[in-house]
Homo-oligomer: A and B are copies of this chain.
Amino acid sequence: MGAGFSSCSHTTTFFAASTTLFPHRSKSNFSTFNPHFKLLSQTLYYPKPTKITTSRSSSSALSPINSGGRAEEMKTQEEKSTQPMSDLHNIDPELIQRMAYDALVWTSIHGLVVGDKSVPRSGKVPGVGLVHAPIALLPMSFPENHWKQACEVSPIFNELIDRVSLDGEFLQESLSRTKMVDAFTSRLMDIHSQMLENGKREEIRLGLHRSDYMLDEQTKLLLQIEINTISASFPGLGSLVSELHRSLLNQYKEQLGLDSRRIPRNAAVNGFAEALAKAWEEYSNPRAVVMFVVQTEERNMYDQHWLSTEFPFSCFPQLCNTYDVTTIRKTLAEIDEQGVLQPDGTLLVGDQAIGVIYFRAGYAPTDYPSESEWRARLLMEQSSAIKCPSISYHLAGTKKIQQELAKPNVLERFLENKDDIAKIRKCFAGLWSLDDSDIVKDAIERPEFYVMKPQREGGGNNIYGDDVRKSLLRLQEEGAEENAAYILMQRIFPTIAPTYLMRDGICHKDHAMSELGIYGAYLRNKENVIMNEQCGYLMRTKVSSSNEGGVAAGFAVLDSVYLN
């Protein structure tokens, strides 16, 4: 997550609701306002508002998008613009204070929590060092047509990833140069090669993806940032945020005038749980378990626990209660230590047969500090367990493959239906390899319209603004080989809207932008597709920074969608 959080050059306006007003009214139901709760950001976030300035030029500057061969979509997209949900500047600060208090109570008693990084044990021992997850106080406005578009392409992306994963040659060839400059991708590809050599086939394939989008303000295009095919986070907490926002909108219906039914139902956690359970059924060994591959420390453990323990909303099926599925949690090092492959391909960890492997670790180089972890990854890949993801699914989600798929005629290699191809292509932002000298030249001249993305996962490594120019010039001096470690992507300028962000018990108002993630679940066996659906969403909202370089600073909070 996090990769692709592009930013425009707005300067930031900070604002905090006054703390001097104590509420004398509480007109709505379930308000439990406590005056001891204050908007603690007072001292931190109360400089005088600074003027918002926009440094980007007119829309004509967006021409690089067109070099990606997508000029036509710009016209076919609907022109309906994103409306602010309501004018947040006009909300009574006292009302915000009450809603913020209620939201904090809600998070605490409904498990919308994470481990607090200031408490050392909070990433290892459940139940200690809990703090509410960072959240937006209210849902983010989003145009219904773009919402529908994102949902509609979800099953197509699921299918596309599956098809790409089966084309070992395409994966190896597309990534061959990346392999030479990126050690992590190289190790993944080694395992992939070995599987190809051994003729290893994954008959049952499970994908739990999250495809991330931003809505470009100028062009009104919904553009894909990336697709996460491994360890897509927040299906659990994301579902809860939608519930929280629905509660608040019902609660403060009179004051806000918003309709909670315009927050789409978010079934991410039950969709994922259902897919895992159905995969376990497909494995057909009632004694086998579902193994969560986890990091040694995990402050986001409750998001994972929501998948495997009972869910508070009775309408949601539960992995454990609906199906009699046992889950265990293991680190890569433990799997190396305790794992054994039986002659028939069954993976035993300890003395438990593993039916389904769900990765919530293993996506970043830091997850493999020694050979032990790589041995574990190989061992799992060699086994008959259903891997979510398999090494092929993992590679199919890399940025380089994203860029390759955006080339003309490549989608046609994997999909037959022309409509599906058009729908997918409509979501592609401009994506180029650094071998494209025209684009590199343009990016050096106008770096503000590009993002340079290293193959490496995990976000935060993207290069923006003048650093794009500098990096490209450095690469030109050093020679072509390093080029393969990066791709260039069209810079997206999303709508900036005033938003209330909450972290560590503090609510503050800021200008923020959002990224929409759509969860997709896919399961098939040798004969049939068993499940292929969009099952939920996650809005992540982030302060738009005033950094000269345009790098999105600040923190992302969990958010939901309000359709307009």
Contact = CB atoms under 8 A, between A and B. Distances in A.
Contacts of A128: 104, 116, 131-132, 504-505
Contacts of A327: 26, 30-32
Contacts of A329: 32-35
Interface string A348-386: 011110000000000000000000000000000000000
A314 B313 CA distance: 8
A55 B511 CA distance: 70
A108 B126 contact: yes
A2 to B, nearest CB: 23
Given A126-B101, A128-B131, A312-B312, A328 B26 contact: yes
A539 B106 CA distance: 26
Interface string A319-335: 11100111111110010
Contacts of A35: 329-331, 334
Interface stretch (A302-310, A473-481, A488-496): A302-310
Contacts of A34: 124, 126, 294, 301, 329
A137 interface: no
Contacts of A310: 30, 247
A106 B309 contact: yes
Contact of A352 (B25, B129, B292, B309): B25
A332 B89 CA distance: 34
A40 B125 contact: yes
Contacts of A459: none
A505 B127 contact: yes
Nearest to A240: B109
B113 A109 contact: yes
Nearest to A326: B26
Given A113-B130, A297-B36, A302-B108, A326 B125 contact: no
A112 to B, nearest CB: 9
B109 A306 contact: yes
A334 B22 CA distance: 10
A105 B309 contact: yes
Interface in A27-54: 27-38, 40
Contacts of A121: 505
A24 interface: yes
A69 to B, nearest CB: 47
Nearest to A349: B24
Contacts of A107: 126-127
A351 to B, nearest CB: 5
The listed residue with most B CB atoms (<10 A of its CB), out of A26, A27, A36, A338, is A36
A183 B411 CA distance: 84
Nearest to A37: B125
Nearest to A40: B125
A64 interface: no
Nearest to A348: B24
Nearest to A101: B126
A369 to B, nearest CB: 16
Contacts of A130: 108, 113, 130-132
Contacts of A262: none
Contact of A104 (B102, B126, B324): B126
B109 A24 contact: no
Nearest to A312: B312
Contacts of A306: 109
A111 interface: yes
Contacts of A324: 29
A111 B125 CA distance: 16
Interface in A259-316: 289, 292, 294, 296-297, 301-302, 305-306, 308-310, 312, 314
15 contacts: A22-B334, A25-B350, A29-B326, A30-B319, A30-B320, A31-B326, A32-B292, A32-B309, A34-B301, A34-B329, A36-B296, A103-B127, A108-B302, A110-B312, A111-B111
A295 to B, nearest CB: 9
Nearest to A307: B32
A126 B351 CA distance: 43
Contact of A30 (B24, B116, B309): B309
Contacts of A25: 350-352
Interface string A7-26: 00000000000000011111
Contacts of A314: 314
Contact of A351 (B24, B37, B111): B24
B308 A30 contact: yes
Interface string A173-197: 0000000000000000000000000
Contacts of A24: 338, 349-352
Contacts of A30: 308-310, 319-321, 326-327
Contacts of A40: 125
A372 B121 CA distance: 42
A32 B329 CA distance: 6
Given A31-B328, A109-B302, A36 B125 contact: yes
Contact of A126 (B28, B29, B37, B334): B37
A37 B121 CA distance: 9
